[in-house]
Amino acid sequence: MIRLAVALLFAALVGCATHDPGTTPAGDHERQLLVMITAAPPHYRPGTSASGYGSGATRPRFDLAGLALARDHGMTLADDWPMPALGLHCFVMTIAAGQSREMLAAQLAADPRVESVQPVQLFRTLARNDPYYAMQSSARALDLDGLHQIATGRNVRIAQVDTGVDLSHPDLLGALTMARNFVDGSSYAAEVHGTAVAGVMVARADNSLGIVGVAPDATLLPLRACWPDQADSDTALCSSFTLAKAIQFAVDQRVRVLNLSLGGPRDRLLERLIDRATDAGMTVVGAVDAGATGRSFPSAHPRVIAIVAADEPRLAFYVELPRGAILAPGRDVLTTVPQGRWRFFSGASFAAAHATGVVALLLEKKPDLNGEAVRALLAQPDPRGEPTAGLRLDGAAALALRGARRDCGAARSAQSVGGRSDC
């Protein structure tokens, strides 16, 4: 009898608050709200454990609380996801035509069942391809040969939140694990931006082909939370919801480094997840959009290591660099693309990928470093003294400061750091 009553209640709620199976983050974000409800621990449902994330996970689509909330406010339930890192359950709700998103957000914020509410926002990957730039070797800029005598990223796991990565690329074989798709309405795909960023970080060394990643022995979790804005494009979009799902997964997996080669508006849910990730010991690296009209998020978050592309032509016009922003190679970067190929790219996405790789090298040598300690070791003052370029990525000096065993010729900056030398 109880089961029958519950079933009838569920059917009634579904009749009032349905979900649109064709809804995608790209299409309806301006009519969607993220609604957080406090979850009574433990709040894991079948299929939502770490191993059950991603496309094909078997789980009840919605729970009764979300359905009731959508019904009461005249909205349609589009999607949901548990956020155990925050003790919340997140629901994507779509407003009806003619309704005001701002008015509904205010009504939901006043509902005692709601912990918080915010709009679904869009973020963009920060790639800029220009085949006419003069060729520049980022490997030589970072002195990878010298760095790899000290560390290669072994036993360090990196989570990359991006578009899909080519899982069969010959230069990435053995580096990738636990690929997941968090973009509804599509399957995991090999896409340009995600594959290119991955290659910078973990392309295999000494395999007789292609390039060498900054951390060639690290393990990469390629988490698809973004989708190309057009077919085969190296630019892409992401939403608050897709990014939140991916970051939550990275937290669950206890990865050491999180790469966010993307930028967009300040987002409260993502801020809270980044705080939780760093509290758990994760180092978060973000790309600075030098063309943004305001501060680029998530790189502006105080716990994110903000990376700017060196020689970025728009940098001179960017006046709100985050605290401690670091310059890294980001122009004419040769890296992997789908279908077993390689291509040159420029942009902050690839600068952030270089920095993420260097972080993995540091964490191999000293696993107990937290994000702030990593930030303090990563950069040295720009020798040119340019006001917009305060710090430059310097992996050799960082490893020397760590007291790691090194090659004196490789660690070119060690002498300039407090006069210290380990030779």
CA distance 226 to 127: 13
Residue 392, classified by CB atoms within 10 Å of its CB into exposed (0-12), middle (13-18) or buried (19+), is buried
Cα–Cα distance list, 274 to 79, 244, 321 (Å): 22, 9, 19
* Of 142-146, 218-222, 227-231, highest mean pLDDT: 218-222
Residues 6+ apart with CB under 8 A from 412: 143, 146, 396
The helix or strand, by DSSP H or E, that contains position 287, with its residue range, turns out to be strand 283-287
**Residue 49 pLDDT greater than 70, yes or no:** no
Range scoring the smallest mean pLDDT among 9-13, 41-45, 84-88, 163-167: 9-13
pLDDT band for 384, please (50, 70, 90 cuts): low
Residue 231: pLDDT band (50, 70, 90) is confident
Give the lowest-confidence range in 37-41, 213-217, 394-398: 37-41
**Do residues 43 and 82 make contact, with C-beta atoms less than 8 angstroms apart?**
yes
The separation between CA 205 and the C-alpha centre of its own chain, rounded to angstroms, equals 24
- Helix (H) or strand (E) holding 162, with range, is strand 157-162
* Amino acid letter, 214: V
Q: Which of 280-289, 335-344, 411-420 has the lowest mean pLDDT?
A: 411-420
Q: Would you place residue 390 in the very low, low, confident or very high pLDDT band (cuts 50, 70, 90)? A: low
Q: What is the pLDDT of residues 293-312, one digit of tens each?
A: 667 899 999 999 999 988 76
Q: Which two tokens stand for residue 216?
A: 């060639």
Tokens of 371: 């994000």
**Better-scored residue on pLDDT, 23 or 107:** 107
User: What Å distances lie between residue 345 and 132, 299, 351, CA to CA?
Assistant: 11, 20, 10
Give how far Cα 230 sits from Cα of 161, 235, 236, Å: 19, 8, 8
CA dihedral 293, 299, 305, 306 (to 10 degrees): -20
- Position 48 pLDDT exceeds 80: no
State how far the alpha carbon of 309 is from the alpha carbons of 127, 128, 261, 340, in Å: 10, 11, 11, 26
Residue 420's pLDDT is 32
Q: What is the helix (H) or strand (E) element at residue 219, kind and residue range? A: strand 219-224
Dist CA 382 CA 380 (whole Å): 6
Helices (H), 233-302: 240-253, 268-279
Are 318 and 292 a contacting pair, CB within 8 Å? yes
CB 314 within 8 A of CB 387: no
For residue 145, the model assigns a pLDDT of: 84
Decide: 91 and 32 in contact? Cβ < 8 Å: no
Pairing label, strands 180-181, 122-125? unpaired
Q: What is the predicted pLDDT for the residue at 332? A: 85
End-to-end CA distance of the chain: 79
DSSP count for the chain of H helices, then E strands: 12, 19
- Summary mean pLDDT of the chain: 80
Compute φ and ψ for 38, nearest 5 degrees: -65, 130
Residue (of 326, 122, 343) closest to 236 by Cα position: 122
Partners of 75 in beta bridges: none
Question: Would you say residue 256 has pLDDT above 90?
Answer: yes
Selection from 376, 330, 298 nearest residue 128 by Cα? 330
The span from the CA of 344 to the CA of 331, in Å, is 8
The answer to whether 282 touches 257, Cβ cutoff 8 Å, is yes
Domains with residue ranges and CATH for the chain: 2-120 (no CATH), 124-416 (3.40.50.200)
Q: Which amino acid is at 164?
A: G
Q: Which of 22-31, 48-57, 348-357 has the lowest mean pLDDT?
A: 48-57
Q: Is the pLDDT of residue 291 over 90?
A: no
Q: Determine how β-strand 326-328 pairs with β-strand 304-309.
A: parallel
314-364 pLDDT, tens digit each:
554 444 667 778 999 998 899 999 999 999 898 999 999 999 999 999 999
